[in-house]
């Protein structure tokens, strides 16, 4: 074993020394961040607000989550109110926050809390994990922060802190199990909820992904990566494969009296239950050349908008051509548009619909330019 490896091993073996958690908690008491979901010092946390914030913060920054959290808690201040709300209203309120399965699972979880637990979130990690949409991380976070249980909470910030504390060279995601084991060894029995939030704050404000502020770090003395001067290189990550590209076409039909045709997506799969402008399937090949008009929802003169729309999903990149046409509301919808899922929506009310971000981009592109009224014509695809 080399000198550097021996040093890291020595620090790792010494991870249970009593000074780490007290040093971190003392810093947290001075520097803790203020969030609308975070209880004030000495005040018991509200499990509903803790759970709601953790669902929103998955794949979302705190800055983006705050206005949504405030809006949700103003409209649905308790879990029973959220459980009783129509799912369509919840999806509309969630629109723009992304990863829409979270909203569907959130509603299902609220209902389960009411039905299985009488409206009170369970304190046990295992019982929390049995709820819809609650995984290992969320269960641990709710148990620790809401109930002060000694649960090990590991998010992206904590992964980075622990990887540097113990100079974990194994790249992520392969290192996840090792990091979780090390994090569990650090979790104290005293104030585990504050400790979990302190670790998150440390990663977000001091032990940042780039240029960590080691000079002001309250636990710098415990950090193997800092001692070895490799903190900027950790955590290491395996190379990511390129996202595949999918293509499609979206059709925005508008009326002279200010209505837009929208369609509800299927209840399963990507963006389930959300509203959209009728579109072709999203495939790697895209719609066949010369056959795009077969997917148009109504007969009309369809104009291709310049530029199109590009959107990044977790597992693929999407490029959509956008077409628009003028059509009367009493026009017959084509079977390709799934008429039973379509409805005309006032243009002024479109913003309140449960539209995913990609469809807001589509509608913005199609509606930002004036559209002169046109008589229904034989279905035609034109370019501008």
Radius of gyration in angstroms for the set of CA atoms belonging to the chain, rounded to a whole number: 25
Distance (Å, whole) CA 56 – CA 58: 6
Provide the token pair at 288. Answer: 């066949």
Instruction: Report helix, strand or coil for 253.
Output: strand
Any residues with CB less than 8 A from the CB of 164 and at least 6 apart, and which? 207, 212, 223, 224, 225, 226, 231, 234, 235
- For 363, residues 6+ apart whose C-beta sits below 8 A from its C-beta are 252, 260, 277, 350, 355
Cα angle: 276, vertex 278, 283; to 5 degrees: 95
Look up tokens 């919808």; give the residue: 333
List active site positions.
54
The one-character DSSP state at 299 is S
111 — phi, psi (to 5°)? -65, -40
d(CA 368, CA 156): 39
Alpha carbons 381 and 369: distance in angstroms, whole number: 18
Q: Are strands 301-304 and 275-276 parallel, antiparallel or unpaired?
A: unpaired
User: What does the alpha-carbon distance between residue 223 and residue 166 come to, in Å, rounded to a whole number?
Assistant: 7
């Amino acid at each position: 074993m080399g000198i550097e490896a021996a040093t890291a091993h020595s620090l790792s073996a010494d991870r249970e020394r009593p000074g780490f958690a007290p040093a971190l908690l003392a810093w947290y008491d001075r520097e803790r961040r203020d969030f609308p979901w975070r209880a004030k010092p000495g005040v018991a946390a509200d499990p509903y607000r803790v759970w709601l914030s953790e669902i929103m913060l998955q794949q979302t920054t705190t800055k983006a989550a705050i206005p949504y959290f405030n809006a949700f808690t103003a409209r649905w201040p308790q879990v029973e109110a959220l459980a009783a709300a129509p799912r369509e209203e919840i999806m509309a309120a969630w629109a723009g926050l992304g990863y829409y399965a979270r909203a569907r699972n959130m509603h299902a979880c609220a209902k389960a809390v009411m039905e299985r637990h009488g409206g009170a979130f369970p304190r046990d990690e295992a019982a929390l994990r049995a709820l819809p949409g609650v995984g290992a991380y969320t269960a641990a976070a709710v148990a620790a922060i809401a109930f002060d249980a000694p649960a090990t909470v590991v998010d992206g910030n904590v992964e980075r802190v622990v990887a540097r504390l113990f100079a974990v060279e194994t790249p992520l995601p392969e290192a996840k199990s090792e990091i979780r084991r090390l994090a569990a060894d650090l979790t104290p029995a005293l104030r585990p909820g504050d400790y979990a939030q302190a670790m998150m704050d440390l990663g977000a404000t001091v032990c940042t992904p780039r240029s960590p502020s080691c000079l002001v770090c309250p636990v710098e003395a415990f950090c193997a990566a800092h001692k070895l001067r490799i903190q900027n290189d950790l955590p290491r990550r395996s190379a990511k494969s390129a996202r595949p590209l999918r293509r499609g076409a979206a059709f925005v039909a508008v009326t002279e009296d200010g209505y837009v045709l929208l369609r509800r997506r299927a209840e399963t799969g990507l963006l389930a239950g959300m509203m959209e402008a009728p579109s072709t399937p999203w495939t790697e090949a895209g719609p066949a050349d010369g056959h795009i008009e077969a997917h148009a929802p109504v007969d009309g003169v369809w104009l291709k908008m310049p530029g199109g729309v590009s959107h990044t999903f977790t597992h693929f990149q999407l490029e959509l051509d956008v077409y628009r046409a003028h059509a009367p509301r009493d026009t017959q919808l084509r079977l390709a548009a799934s008429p039973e899922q379509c409805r005309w929506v006032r243009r002024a009310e479109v913003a309140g619909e449960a539209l995913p971000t990609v469809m807001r981009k589509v509608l913005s592109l199609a509606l930002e330019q004036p559209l002169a009224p046109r008589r229904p014509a034989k279905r035609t695809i034109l370019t501008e």
